[in-house]
Structure 1
Amino acid sequence: MNETANIVDIDEGNAQQLLIDESFNRPVVVDFWAEWCEPCKQLMPMLEKLATEYKGAFLLAKVNADEQQMLAQQLGVKSLPTVMVIKEGQPVDGFSGAQPESAVREVLDKYVPSPQADALLEAEQLLADGDIPSALALYRAAWEESGHAVDMTLSYAAALVTASRFDDAEQVLKEIRLADQDARYEQLVAQIQLGREAAKSPEVAALEAALSAQPDDHGTRVKLAIQLSQTAQYRDALEHLLVVLRADKDFADGEVRKVYLDTLATIGKGDPLAAEYQRKLFSLMY
Protein backbone atom coordinates (compact mmCIF):
# COMPACT_ATOMS: atom_id res chain seq x y z
CA MET A 1 0.00 0.00 0.00
CA ASN A 2 1.19 3.51 -0.73
CA GLU A 3 2.31 5.64 2.15
CA THR A 4 1.38 9.26 2.63
CA ALA A 5 2.54 11.71 5.28
CA ASN A 6 -0.46 10.79 7.44
CA ILE A 7 -0.99 7.10 6.59
CA VAL A 8 1.87 4.59 6.85
CA ASP A 9 2.48 0.84 6.85
CA ILE A 10 4.48 -0.42 9.82
CA ASP A 11 7.26 -2.99 9.75
CA GLU A 12 10.22 -3.88 11.98
CA GLY A 13 12.35 -1.20 10.37
CA ASN A 14 10.10 1.78 11.10
CA ALA A 15 8.11 0.71 14.16
CA GLN A 16 10.26 2.56 16.70
CA GLN A 17 10.32 5.77 14.68
CA LEU A 18 6.64 5.87 13.67
CA LEU A 19 4.87 4.24 16.62
CA ILE A 20 6.94 5.61 19.49
CA ASP A 21 9.03 8.60 18.42
CA GLU A 22 6.26 10.14 16.30
CA SER A 23 3.76 9.81 19.18
CA PHE A 24 5.63 12.60 20.99
CA ASN A 25 4.75 14.92 18.08
CA ARG A 26 1.13 13.86 17.51
CA PRO A 27 -1.16 10.95 18.45
CA VAL A 28 -0.52 7.75 16.50
CA VAL A 29 -3.58 5.63 15.71
CA VAL A 30 -2.46 2.04 15.14
CA ASP A 31 -4.72 -0.28 13.14
CA PHE A 32 -3.91 -3.99 13.46
CA TRP A 33 -5.46 -5.87 10.55
CA ALA A 34 -5.12 -8.97 8.35
CA GLU A 35 -6.14 -9.92 4.82
CA TRP A 36 -8.56 -12.62 6.04
CA CYS A 37 -10.32 -10.29 8.51
CA GLU A 38 -13.63 -9.04 7.05
CA PRO A 39 -14.34 -6.44 9.79
CA CYS A 40 -10.84 -5.04 9.11
CA LYS A 41 -11.91 -4.31 5.54
CA GLN A 42 -14.83 -2.24 6.83
CA LEU A 43 -12.80 -0.33 9.41
CA MET A 44 -9.65 0.54 7.47
CA PRO A 45 -11.28 2.71 4.75
CA MET A 46 -13.03 4.70 7.49
CA LEU A 47 -9.76 5.26 9.35
CA GLU A 48 -8.04 6.29 6.12
CA LYS A 49 -10.83 8.75 5.37
CA LEU A 50 -10.53 10.23 8.87
CA ALA A 51 -6.75 10.52 8.59
CA THR A 52 -7.22 12.52 5.39
CA GLU A 53 -9.98 14.65 6.89
CA TYR A 54 -7.97 15.49 10.03
CA LYS A 55 -5.12 16.74 7.82
CA GLY A 56 -2.18 15.41 9.80
CA ALA A 57 -3.52 15.93 13.30
CA PHE A 58 -2.78 12.23 13.87
CA LEU A 59 -0.76 9.54 12.12
CA LEU A 60 -2.58 6.40 10.98
CA ALA A 61 -0.16 3.48 11.33
CA LYS A 62 -1.35 0.23 9.72
CA VAL A 63 0.06 -3.04 11.01
CA ASN A 64 -0.49 -6.33 9.18
CA ALA A 65 -0.77 -8.60 12.23
CA ASP A 66 0.11 -11.73 10.24
CA GLU A 67 3.35 -10.21 8.96
CA GLN A 68 4.23 -8.40 12.21
CA GLN A 69 3.25 -11.07 14.75
CA MET A 70 5.91 -10.13 17.30
CA LEU A 71 4.81 -6.49 17.33
CA ALA A 72 1.17 -7.52 17.71
CA GLN A 73 2.12 -9.77 20.64
CA GLN A 74 4.21 -7.05 22.29
CA LEU A 75 1.24 -4.68 22.21
CA GLY A 76 -1.16 -7.31 23.53
CA VAL A 77 -3.34 -7.67 20.44
CA LYS A 78 -5.76 -10.55 21.00
CA SER A 79 -8.30 -10.05 18.18
CA LEU A 80 -8.67 -8.23 14.87
CA PRO A 81 -9.24 -5.53 14.10
CA THR A 82 -7.65 -3.81 17.08
CA VAL A 83 -7.05 -0.07 17.13
CA MET A 84 -4.77 1.66 19.63
CA VAL A 85 -4.04 5.32 20.24
CA ILE A 86 -0.41 5.91 21.24
CA LYS A 87 0.56 9.22 22.81
CA GLU A 88 4.01 10.09 24.19
CA GLY A 89 5.17 6.51 23.78
CA GLN A 90 2.27 4.87 25.62
CA PRO A 91 -1.05 3.31 24.51
CA VAL A 92 -3.74 5.58 25.98
CA ASP A 93 -6.93 4.34 24.33
CA GLY A 94 -8.34 1.97 21.76
CA PHE A 95 -10.98 -0.56 20.81
CA SER A 96 -11.44 -3.95 19.20
CA GLY A 97 -13.82 -4.94 16.42
CA ALA A 98 -15.49 -2.84 13.75
CA GLN A 99 -17.08 0.30 15.17
CA PRO A 100 -19.47 2.91 13.74
CA GLU A 101 -17.81 6.11 12.61
CA SER A 102 -19.41 8.08 15.44
CA ALA A 103 -17.69 5.82 18.01
CA VAL A 104 -14.32 6.10 16.26
CA ARG A 105 -14.60 9.89 16.16
CA GLU A 106 -15.50 9.92 19.85
CA VAL A 107 -12.19 8.19 20.61
CA LEU A 108 -10.22 10.45 18.26
CA ASP A 109 -11.74 13.65 19.59
CA LYS A 110 -10.33 12.95 23.07
CA TYR A 111 -6.83 13.44 21.69
CA VAL A 112 -7.20 15.31 18.39
CA PRO A 113 -9.20 18.50 17.79
CA SER A 114 -11.84 18.02 15.11
CA PRO A 115 -11.16 20.02 11.92
CA GLN A 116 -14.60 21.57 12.39
CA ALA A 117 -14.19 22.29 16.12
CA ASP A 118 -13.75 26.07 15.85
CA ALA A 119 -16.64 26.44 13.40
CA LEU A 120 -18.88 24.40 15.69
CA LEU A 121 -18.05 26.56 18.71
CA GLU A 122 -18.92 29.69 16.73
CA ALA A 123 -22.11 28.09 15.39
CA GLU A 124 -23.19 27.05 18.89
CA GLN A 125 -22.69 30.61 20.14
CA LEU A 126 -24.66 32.06 17.23
CA LEU A 127 -27.47 29.61 17.92
CA ALA A 128 -27.47 30.57 21.60
CA ASP A 129 -27.57 34.26 20.60
CA GLY A 130 -30.59 33.64 18.40
CA ASP A 131 -28.85 34.25 15.07
CA ILE A 132 -30.34 31.10 13.57
CA PRO A 133 -29.62 31.73 9.85
CA SER A 134 -25.91 32.40 10.49
CA ALA A 135 -25.64 29.46 12.88
CA LEU A 136 -27.25 27.02 10.45
CA ALA A 137 -25.05 28.29 7.62
CA LEU A 138 -21.94 27.51 9.69
CA TYR A 139 -23.27 24.11 10.74
CA ARG A 140 -24.04 23.22 7.14
CA ALA A 141 -20.61 24.38 5.92
CA ALA A 142 -18.89 22.26 8.60
CA TRP A 143 -21.13 19.32 7.71
CA GLU A 144 -20.25 19.60 4.02
CA GLU A 145 -16.53 20.00 4.82
CA SER A 146 -16.61 16.82 6.90
CA GLY A 147 -18.03 14.84 3.98
CA HIS A 148 -21.29 14.31 5.89
CA ALA A 149 -19.46 12.58 8.73
CA VAL A 150 -21.77 10.93 11.24
CA ASP A 151 -20.97 13.17 14.21
CA MET A 152 -21.31 16.31 12.08
CA THR A 153 -24.57 15.00 10.62
CA LEU A 154 -25.91 14.56 14.14
CA SER A 155 -24.70 18.02 15.22
CA TYR A 156 -26.25 19.69 12.18
CA ALA A 157 -29.53 17.81 12.67
CA ALA A 158 -29.56 18.79 16.36
CA ALA A 159 -29.15 22.45 15.39
CA LEU A 160 -32.03 22.16 12.93
CA VAL A 161 -34.18 20.63 15.67
CA THR A 162 -33.26 23.51 18.00
CA ALA A 163 -34.36 25.88 15.23
CA SER A 164 -37.64 23.90 14.88
CA ARG A 165 -36.65 22.94 11.33
CA PHE A 166 -38.01 19.44 11.82
CA ASP A 167 -38.47 18.47 8.15
CA ASP A 168 -34.92 19.53 7.32
CA ALA A 169 -33.54 17.71 10.38
CA GLU A 170 -35.33 14.57 9.25
CA GLN A 171 -33.82 14.88 5.76
CA VAL A 172 -30.32 15.30 7.19
CA LEU A 173 -30.72 12.27 9.45
CA LYS A 174 -31.48 10.12 6.40
CA GLU A 175 -27.75 10.38 5.64
CA ILE A 176 -26.96 8.12 8.59
CA ARG A 177 -26.58 4.43 7.85
CA LEU A 178 -28.39 1.87 9.99
CA ALA A 179 -25.10 0.77 11.58
CA ASP A 180 -24.48 4.34 12.82
CA GLN A 181 -27.96 4.96 14.23
CA ASP A 182 -26.93 5.21 17.87
CA ALA A 183 -28.64 6.59 20.99
CA ARG A 184 -28.07 10.20 19.92
CA TYR A 185 -29.73 9.47 16.57
CA GLU A 186 -32.74 7.90 18.30
CA GLN A 187 -32.96 10.89 20.64
CA LEU A 188 -33.10 13.30 17.71
CA VAL A 189 -35.79 11.26 15.97
CA ALA A 190 -37.86 11.39 19.16
CA GLN A 191 -37.27 15.16 19.48
CA ILE A 192 -38.48 15.68 15.92
CA GLN A 193 -41.68 13.77 16.63
CA LEU A 194 -42.30 15.63 19.88
CA GLY A 195 -41.45 18.97 18.27
CA ARG A 196 -43.95 18.42 15.50
CA GLU A 197 -46.67 17.62 18.00
CA ALA A 198 -45.83 20.67 20.11
CA ALA A 199 -45.85 22.91 17.03
CA LYS A 200 -49.45 21.97 16.27
CA SER A 201 -51.16 24.82 18.07
CA PRO A 202 -54.98 25.02 18.32
CA GLU A 203 -54.85 27.73 15.64
CA VAL A 204 -52.95 25.47 13.24
CA ALA A 205 -55.26 22.54 13.97
CA ALA A 206 -58.34 24.69 13.32
CA LEU A 207 -56.93 26.06 10.06
CA GLU A 208 -55.96 22.57 8.88
CA ALA A 209 -59.48 21.33 9.62
CA ALA A 210 -61.02 24.27 7.75
CA LEU A 211 -58.71 23.73 4.78
CA SER A 212 -59.51 20.03 4.72
CA ALA A 213 -63.19 20.93 4.45
CA GLN A 214 -62.54 23.58 1.76
CA PRO A 215 -59.25 22.90 -0.06
CA ASP A 216 -59.81 25.79 -2.50
CA ASP A 217 -60.07 28.41 0.26
CA HIS A 218 -56.87 30.30 -0.52
CA GLY A 219 -57.34 32.78 2.31
CA THR A 220 -57.36 29.97 4.88
CA ARG A 221 -54.35 28.37 3.21
CA VAL A 222 -52.36 31.61 3.46
CA LYS A 223 -53.31 32.01 7.14
CA LEU A 224 -52.14 28.43 7.76
CA ALA A 225 -48.85 29.13 5.96
CA ILE A 226 -48.23 32.17 8.15
CA GLN A 227 -48.92 30.16 11.31
CA LEU A 228 -46.58 27.39 10.15
CA SER A 229 -43.78 29.82 9.34
CA GLN A 230 -44.05 31.28 12.85
CA THR A 231 -43.07 27.88 14.26
CA ALA A 232 -40.26 27.46 11.68
CA GLN A 233 -42.17 24.88 9.63
CA TYR A 234 -40.95 26.70 6.57
CA ARG A 235 -41.15 23.90 4.02
CA ASP A 236 -44.82 23.23 4.74
CA ALA A 237 -45.55 26.97 4.80
CA LEU A 238 -43.90 27.55 1.43
CA GLU A 239 -45.67 24.58 -0.12
CA HIS A 240 -49.03 26.02 0.93
CA LEU A 241 -48.09 29.41 -0.50
CA LEU A 242 -47.02 27.78 -3.77
CA VAL A 243 -50.44 26.12 -4.06
CA VAL A 244 -52.05 29.56 -3.88
CA LEU A 245 -49.57 31.16 -6.30
CA ARG A 246 -50.02 28.37 -8.84
CA ALA A 247 -53.76 29.02 -8.77
CA ASP A 248 -53.46 32.83 -8.81
CA LYS A 249 -50.07 34.57 -9.01
CA ASP A 250 -51.63 37.87 -7.93
CA PHE A 251 -53.87 36.57 -5.16
CA ALA A 252 -54.59 39.26 -2.53
CA ASP A 253 -53.02 41.92 -4.76
CA GLY A 254 -49.60 40.27 -4.64
CA GLU A 255 -49.58 39.94 -0.84
CA VAL A 256 -49.05 36.17 -1.02
CA ARG A 257 -45.91 36.66 -3.09
CA LYS A 258 -44.66 39.12 -0.45
CA VAL A 259 -45.36 36.60 2.35
CA TYR A 260 -43.46 33.99 0.34
CA LEU A 261 -40.44 36.29 -0.11
CA ASP A 262 -40.55 37.31 3.56
CA THR A 263 -40.47 33.63 4.51
CA LEU A 264 -37.41 33.08 2.32
CA ALA A 265 -35.72 36.08 3.94
CA THR A 266 -36.48 34.67 7.40
CA ILE A 267 -34.88 31.34 6.48
CA GLY A 268 -31.74 33.18 5.43
CA LYS A 269 -29.89 33.83 2.20
CA GLY A 270 -27.75 30.87 1.18
CA ASP A 271 -29.78 28.31 3.13
CA PRO A 272 -30.45 25.31 0.84
CA LEU A 273 -34.17 25.41 1.68
CA ALA A 274 -34.37 29.09 0.71
CA ALA A 275 -32.46 28.41 -2.51
CA GLU A 276 -34.75 25.49 -3.37
CA TYR A 277 -37.92 27.55 -2.95
CA GLN A 278 -36.42 30.60 -4.65
CA ARG A 279 -35.97 28.41 -7.74
CA LYS A 280 -39.53 27.12 -7.46
CA LEU A 281 -40.89 30.66 -7.31
CA PHE A 282 -38.76 31.73 -10.26
CA SER A 283 -40.00 28.77 -12.33
CA LEU A 284 -43.59 29.62 -11.46
CA MET A 285 -43.35 33.33 -12.18
CA TYR A 286 -41.26 33.14 -15.35
Structure 2
Amino acid sequence: MNAVNVIDVTEANFQQVMVEESAQRLVILDFWAEWCAPCKALGPILEKLAQEYAGQFLLAKINADEQQAITAQFGIRSLPTVAFVKNGQPVDAFQGAEPESAIRERLQQHLPAPWEGLIEDARQLASNGQVAEALPLLREAYTQSDEQFEVGLILADCLLQLKRANDANELLKGATLEQQLNPQYKELMSRLELMLDAADSPEIRELQAQLAEDPDNADLKMELAVQLQQADRAEEALELMLSILQKDKNYADGAARKTMLDMISGLGKGDPLAARYQRKLFTLLY
Protein backbone atom coordinates (compact mmCIF):
# COMPACT_ATOMS: atom_id res chain seq x y z
CA MET A 1 0.00 0.00 0.00
CA ASN A 2 1.44 3.39 -1.00
CA ALA A 3 1.93 5.97 1.72
CA VAL A 4 -0.04 9.22 1.50
CA ASN A 5 2.27 12.08 0.57
CA VAL A 6 0.13 15.18 1.25
CA ILE A 7 -2.76 15.78 3.68
CA ASP A 8 -4.73 18.73 5.04
CA VAL A 9 -4.46 19.03 8.82
CA THR A 10 -7.42 19.82 11.09
CA GLU A 11 -7.93 19.47 14.82
CA ALA A 12 -9.47 16.07 14.10
CA ASN A 13 -6.27 14.55 12.70
CA PHE A 14 -3.61 16.85 14.18
CA GLN A 15 -2.72 14.51 17.06
CA GLN A 16 -2.41 11.53 14.74
CA VAL A 17 -0.09 13.47 12.45
CA MET A 18 2.09 14.82 15.25
CA VAL A 19 2.35 11.59 17.23
CA GLU A 20 1.85 8.59 14.95
CA GLU A 21 3.04 9.91 11.60
CA SER A 22 6.09 11.75 12.94
CA ALA A 23 7.15 8.58 14.76
CA GLN A 24 7.21 6.73 11.41
CA ARG A 25 8.66 9.39 9.08
CA LEU A 26 9.49 13.05 8.79
CA VAL A 27 6.45 15.36 8.85
CA ILE A 28 6.65 18.78 7.22
CA LEU A 29 4.05 21.22 8.52
CA ASP A 30 3.19 23.94 6.00
CA PHE A 31 1.31 26.86 7.58
CA TRP A 32 -0.35 28.87 4.81
CA ALA A 33 -3.37 31.03 3.92
CA GLU A 34 -5.33 31.88 0.78
CA TRP A 35 -4.39 35.57 0.91
CA CYS A 36 -0.65 34.84 1.24
CA ALA A 37 1.16 35.24 -2.12
CA PRO A 38 4.46 33.65 -0.93
CA CYS A 39 2.42 30.66 0.30
CA LYS A 40 1.10 30.14 -3.23
CA ALA A 41 4.66 30.14 -4.55
CA LEU A 42 5.95 27.77 -1.88
CA GLY A 43 3.05 25.29 -1.82
CA PRO A 44 3.62 23.75 -5.29
CA ILE A 45 7.34 23.32 -4.54
CA LEU A 46 6.60 21.40 -1.35
CA GLU A 47 3.97 19.29 -3.07
CA LYS A 48 6.35 18.49 -5.94
CA LEU A 49 9.01 17.34 -3.48
CA ALA A 50 6.46 15.27 -1.56
CA GLN A 51 5.61 13.40 -4.76
CA GLU A 52 9.27 13.00 -5.72
CA TYR A 53 10.23 11.57 -2.33
CA ALA A 54 7.29 9.17 -2.67
CA GLY A 55 6.19 8.85 0.94
CA GLN A 56 9.54 9.37 2.67
CA PHE A 57 7.98 12.41 4.31
CA LEU A 58 4.42 13.61 4.88
CA LEU A 59 3.52 17.12 3.82
CA ALA A 60 0.90 18.29 6.32
CA LYS A 61 -0.78 21.49 5.10
CA ILE A 62 -2.35 23.73 7.74
CA ASN A 63 -4.65 26.58 6.70
CA ALA A 64 -3.73 29.18 9.33
CA ASP A 65 -7.07 31.02 8.99
CA GLU A 66 -9.19 27.90 9.38
CA GLN A 67 -7.00 26.14 12.01
CA GLN A 68 -6.30 29.04 14.37
CA ALA A 69 -5.93 26.87 17.48
CA ILE A 70 -3.15 24.78 15.89
CA THR A 71 -1.51 27.92 14.49
CA ALA A 72 -1.57 29.57 17.92
CA GLN A 73 -0.18 26.42 19.57
CA PHE A 74 2.90 26.68 17.32
CA GLY A 75 3.22 30.42 17.90
CA ILE A 76 3.08 31.17 14.19
CA ARG A 77 3.52 34.92 13.57
CA SER A 78 4.10 35.09 9.81
CA LEU A 79 3.22 33.09 6.74
CA PRO A 80 4.35 30.90 5.21
CA THR A 81 6.04 29.04 8.06
CA VAL A 82 7.33 25.51 7.55
CA ALA A 83 8.31 23.18 10.40
CA PHE A 84 10.05 19.78 10.14
CA VAL A 85 8.84 17.36 12.83
CA LYS A 86 10.29 14.01 13.97
CA ASN A 87 8.96 11.98 16.88
CA GLY A 88 6.64 14.83 17.85
CA GLN A 89 9.45 17.41 18.08
CA PRO A 90 10.40 20.21 15.64
CA VAL A 91 13.89 19.57 14.19
CA ASP A 92 14.03 22.37 11.62
CA ALA A 93 11.96 25.33 10.43
CA PHE A 94 11.95 28.33 8.13
CA GLN A 95 9.75 31.31 7.32
CA GLY A 96 9.07 32.74 3.89
CA ALA A 97 9.17 31.16 0.45
CA GLU A 98 12.60 29.55 0.24
CA PRO A 99 13.78 28.38 -3.21
CA GLU A 100 13.54 24.71 -4.10
CA SER A 101 17.33 24.28 -3.91
CA ALA A 102 17.40 25.46 -0.30
CA ILE A 103 14.53 23.16 0.67
CA ARG A 104 16.29 20.22 -0.98
CA GLU A 105 19.37 20.96 1.12
CA ARG A 106 17.23 20.87 4.26
CA LEU A 107 15.67 17.58 3.19
CA GLN A 108 19.09 16.04 2.59
CA GLN A 109 19.90 16.69 6.26
CA HIS A 110 16.87 14.70 7.41
CA LEU A 111 16.16 12.15 4.65
CA PRO A 112 17.99 9.78 2.35
CA ALA A 113 17.98 10.89 -1.28
CA PRO A 114 15.13 9.44 -3.41
CA TRP A 115 17.60 7.31 -5.36
CA GLU A 116 18.77 5.62 -2.15
CA GLY A 117 15.32 4.08 -1.87
CA LEU A 118 15.68 2.70 -5.39
CA ILE A 119 18.96 1.05 -4.38
CA GLU A 120 17.35 -0.54 -1.34
CA ASP A 121 14.47 -1.85 -3.47
CA ALA A 122 16.97 -3.22 -5.99
CA ARG A 123 18.97 -4.95 -3.27
CA GLN A 124 15.82 -6.56 -1.94
CA LEU A 125 14.97 -7.87 -5.41
CA ALA A 126 18.51 -9.15 -5.93
CA SER A 127 18.47 -10.94 -2.57
CA ASN A 128 15.33 -12.75 -3.76
CA GLY A 129 17.11 -13.82 -6.94
CA GLN A 130 15.42 -11.16 -9.12
CA VAL A 131 18.64 -9.59 -10.38
CA ALA A 132 17.22 -8.71 -13.82
CA GLU A 133 14.32 -6.88 -12.16
CA ALA A 134 16.79 -4.95 -9.99
CA LEU A 135 18.72 -3.62 -13.01
CA PRO A 136 16.26 -0.89 -14.18
CA LEU A 137 15.98 0.42 -10.60
CA LEU A 138 19.75 0.72 -10.36
CA ARG A 139 19.94 2.44 -13.75
CA GLU A 140 17.39 4.97 -12.51
CA ALA A 141 19.27 5.44 -9.23
CA TYR A 142 22.50 6.05 -11.15
CA THR A 143 20.79 8.72 -13.26
CA GLN A 144 19.08 10.38 -10.28
CA SER A 145 22.34 10.49 -8.31
CA ASP A 146 24.01 12.43 -11.16
CA GLU A 147 26.06 9.32 -11.92
CA GLN A 148 27.80 9.08 -8.56
CA PHE A 149 30.76 6.71 -8.69
CA GLU A 150 29.61 4.62 -5.72
CA VAL A 151 26.18 4.10 -7.31
CA GLY A 152 27.90 3.18 -10.57
CA LEU A 153 29.79 0.44 -8.75
CA ILE A 154 26.53 -1.05 -7.48
CA LEU A 155 25.11 -0.91 -11.00
CA ALA A 156 28.26 -2.49 -12.47
CA ASP A 157 28.04 -5.33 -9.95
CA CYS A 158 24.46 -6.02 -11.05
CA LEU A 159 25.51 -5.96 -14.71
CA LEU A 160 28.27 -8.48 -14.03
CA GLN A 161 25.85 -10.76 -12.19
CA LEU A 162 23.74 -10.69 -15.36
CA LYS A 163 26.87 -11.39 -17.47
CA ARG A 164 26.56 -8.00 -19.15
CA ALA A 165 30.32 -7.53 -19.34
CA ASN A 166 30.36 -4.93 -22.11
CA ASP A 167 27.85 -2.72 -20.32
CA ALA A 168 29.84 -3.02 -17.09
CA ASN A 169 33.03 -2.19 -18.97
CA GLU A 170 31.43 0.93 -20.46
CA LEU A 171 30.42 2.02 -16.97
CA LEU A 172 33.76 1.37 -15.26
CA LYS A 173 36.20 2.55 -17.90
CA GLY A 174 35.66 6.23 -17.04
CA ALA A 175 36.96 5.87 -13.46
CA THR A 176 39.56 8.42 -12.41
CA LEU A 177 42.95 7.33 -11.06
CA GLU A 178 41.76 8.08 -7.54
CA GLN A 179 38.54 6.09 -8.03
CA GLN A 180 40.54 3.14 -9.35
CA LEU A 181 42.06 2.77 -5.88
CA ASN A 182 38.63 1.85 -4.51
CA PRO A 183 38.73 -1.84 -3.38
CA GLN A 184 35.26 -2.52 -4.80
CA TYR A 185 36.34 -1.10 -8.16
CA LYS A 186 39.40 -3.38 -8.20
CA GLU A 187 37.26 -6.42 -7.39
CA LEU A 188 34.75 -5.57 -10.13
CA MET A 189 37.53 -5.04 -12.67
CA SER A 190 38.99 -8.47 -11.86
CA ARG A 191 35.61 -10.10 -12.44
CA LEU A 192 35.13 -8.06 -15.61
CA GLU A 193 38.49 -9.06 -17.10
CA LEU A 194 37.78 -12.74 -16.49
CA MET A 195 34.38 -12.38 -18.11
CA LEU A 196 35.74 -10.51 -21.14
CA ASP A 197 38.41 -13.17 -21.64
CA ALA A 198 35.75 -15.89 -21.53
CA ALA A 199 33.63 -13.96 -24.04
CA ASP A 200 36.30 -14.21 -26.74
CA SER A 201 35.89 -17.92 -27.38
CA PRO A 202 37.63 -20.01 -30.10
CA GLU A 203 34.21 -20.58 -31.71
CA ILE A 204 33.63 -16.85 -32.02
CA ARG A 205 37.10 -16.22 -33.43
CA GLU A 206 36.63 -19.01 -35.99
CA LEU A 207 33.26 -17.62 -37.12
CA GLN A 208 34.72 -14.12 -37.35
CA ALA A 209 37.54 -15.42 -39.54
CA GLN A 210 35.06 -17.22 -41.82
CA LEU A 211 32.89 -14.12 -42.07
CA ALA A 212 35.91 -11.98 -42.95
CA GLU A 213 36.42 -14.23 -45.98
CA ASP A 214 32.71 -14.31 -46.86
CA PRO A 215 31.24 -11.04 -45.52
CA ASP A 216 27.84 -11.37 -47.24
CA ASN A 217 27.09 -14.82 -45.81
CA ALA A 218 23.91 -14.27 -43.79
CA ASP A 219 23.97 -17.77 -42.31
CA LEU A 220 27.42 -17.11 -40.87
CA LYS A 221 26.28 -13.74 -39.53
CA MET A 222 23.32 -15.31 -37.81
CA GLU A 223 25.43 -18.10 -36.30
CA LEU A 224 28.01 -15.59 -35.08
CA ALA A 225 25.29 -13.33 -33.68
CA VAL A 226 23.91 -16.18 -31.57
CA GLN A 227 27.41 -16.99 -30.26
CA LEU A 228 28.04 -13.32 -29.44
CA GLN A 229 24.71 -13.04 -27.62
CA GLN A 230 25.54 -16.07 -25.51
CA ALA A 231 28.91 -14.52 -24.69
CA ASP A 232 27.22 -11.30 -23.48
CA ARG A 233 28.23 -9.31 -26.52
CA ALA A 234 24.68 -8.21 -27.16
CA GLU A 235 25.33 -5.02 -29.12
CA GLU A 236 27.60 -6.79 -31.61
CA ALA A 237 25.01 -9.56 -31.95
CA LEU A 238 22.15 -7.13 -32.56
CA GLU A 239 24.16 -5.16 -35.08
CA LEU A 240 24.82 -8.35 -37.06
CA MET A 241 21.15 -9.34 -36.98
CA LEU A 242 20.15 -5.85 -38.11
CA SER A 243 22.55 -6.06 -41.05
CA ILE A 244 20.87 -9.32 -42.12
CA LEU A 245 17.38 -7.82 -41.95
CA GLN A 246 18.44 -4.65 -43.78
CA LYS A 247 19.11 -6.85 -46.82
CA ASP A 248 16.16 -9.21 -46.37
CA LYS A 249 13.40 -8.45 -43.87
CA ASN A 250 12.09 -12.03 -44.11
CA TYR A 251 15.42 -13.84 -44.13
CA ALA A 252 15.13 -17.55 -43.26
CA ASP A 253 11.32 -17.35 -43.42
CA GLY A 254 11.24 -14.82 -40.59
CA ALA A 255 13.64 -16.73 -38.32
CA ALA A 256 16.15 -13.86 -38.36
CA ARG A 257 13.49 -11.39 -37.26
CA LYS A 258 12.37 -13.70 -34.45
CA THR A 259 15.98 -14.23 -33.33
CA MET A 260 16.57 -10.50 -33.11
CA LEU A 261 13.33 -9.96 -31.19
CA ASP A 262 14.33 -12.73 -28.76
CA MET A 263 17.70 -11.05 -28.25
CA ILE A 264 16.02 -7.71 -27.52
CA SER A 265 13.57 -9.35 -25.09
CA GLY A 266 16.44 -11.10 -23.34
CA LEU A 267 17.98 -7.76 -22.42
CA GLY A 268 15.06 -6.97 -20.14
CA LYS A 269 12.46 -4.24 -19.89
CA GLY A 270 13.84 -0.72 -19.69
CA ASP A 271 17.27 -1.61 -21.01
CA PRO A 272 18.64 1.29 -23.12
CA LEU A 273 20.30 -1.07 -25.61
CA ALA A 274 17.05 -2.98 -26.04
CA ALA A 275 15.11 0.24 -26.58
CA ARG A 276 17.61 1.47 -29.18
CA TYR A 277 17.53 -1.70 -31.27
CA GLN A 278 13.79 -2.07 -30.86
CA ARG A 279 13.41 1.36 -32.48
CA LYS A 280 15.84 0.42 -35.28
CA LEU A 281 13.98 -2.82 -35.96
CA PHE A 282 10.59 -1.10 -35.91
CA THR A 283 11.83 1.59 -38.33
CA LEU A 284 13.21 -1.08 -40.64
CA LEU A 285 10.10 -3.25 -40.65
CA TYR A 286 7.38 -0.61 -40.67
For normalisation by structure 1, the TM-score amounts to: 0.57
1:173 aligns with 2:225: no
Distance 1:146 1:25 in 2: 28
Change (3 A) 1:130 1:239: farther
Please identify, of 218-227 and 228-237, the stretch whose mean Cα deviation from structure 2 is larger: 228-237
SS at match of 2:109: coil
Q: Which residue is equivalent to 1:18?
A: none
CA contact (8 A) 1:153 1:175 kept: no
3-state SS of paired residue (1:55)? helix
Following superposition, the deviation at residue 185 of structure 1 comes to: 3.0
Deviation at 1:238, TM superposition (A): 0.5
Cα deviation per residue 1:102-123 (whole Å; 9 max; x = unaligned)? xxxxxxxxxx856544432332
Looking at structure 2, the residues matched to 204 and 255 of structure 1 have their Cα atoms a distance apart, in angstroms, of: 21
Distance 1:163 1:217, change over 3 A: same
Tell me what 1:124 maps to. Answer: 123
Q: In 2 relative to 1, CA 221–159 (structure 1 residues): closer, same or farther, beyond 3 Å?
A: same
Q: Which amino acid aligns with 1:157?
A: A
- 1:152 is matched with 151
Q: Which residue of 2 aligns with 1:19?
A: none
- Counterpart-to-counterpart distance in 2, 1:181 and 1:115: 27
For 1:238, the aligned partner's letter is L
CA displacement, residues 42-79 of structure 1 (integer Å, 9 cap, x when unaligned): xxxxxxx9x95793335xxxxxxxxxxxxxxxxxxxxx
Residue 44 of structure 1 corresponds to which residue in structure 2? none
SS of 1:181's equivalent in the other structure is helix
Higher-Rg structure is 2
How big is each residue's C-alpha offset from its partner over 1:28-49, in whole Å with a ceiling of 9 and x where there is no partner?
A: xxxxxxxxxxxxxxxxxxxxx9
Residue aligned with 1:134, SS: helix
C-alpha displacement of 1:149: 1.1
Which residue pairs with 1:234 in the alignment?
Answer: 234
For the structure 1 residues 114 and 253, does the alpha-carbon distance in structure 2 shift closer, same or farther, using more than 3 Å as the test? same
After superposition, where does 1:236-255 map in structure 2 within 5 Å?
Answer: 236-255=236-255
**Aligned counterparts of 2:204 and 2:228: Cα–Cα separation in 1:** 7
Count of residues paired in the alignment: 190
Give 3-state SS (helix, strand or coil) of 2:215's partner. Answer: coil
Q: Is 1:56 matched with 2:108?
A: yes
Distance (whole Å) between structure 2 residues aligned to residue 230 and residue 54 of structure 1:
48
Which residue of the partner structure matches residue 191 of structure 1?
A: 191
Residue equivalent to 1:264: 264
CA positional deviation for 1:272:
0.9
Deviations 1:106-152 (A, max 9, x none): xxxxxx85654443233234335443431111111111121111111
Which segments of 5 or more consecutive residues in structure 2 lack a partner in the other structure? 1-88, 92-100
In the alignment, is the contact (CA less than 8 A) between 1:53 and 1:115 conserved in 2?
no
Deviation at 1:25, TM superposition (A): 9.1
Alignment of 1:208-227 (within 5 A): 208-227=208-227
Matches of 2:189 and 2:105, distance apart in 1: 28
Gaps of 5+ in 1: 1-23, 27-48, 59-111
Distance 1:224 1:147, change over 3 A: same
Alignment RMSD, CA only?
Answer: 3.3
Residues 216 and 174 (structure 1), Cα distance of their counterparts in 2 relative to 1, 3 Å cut: same
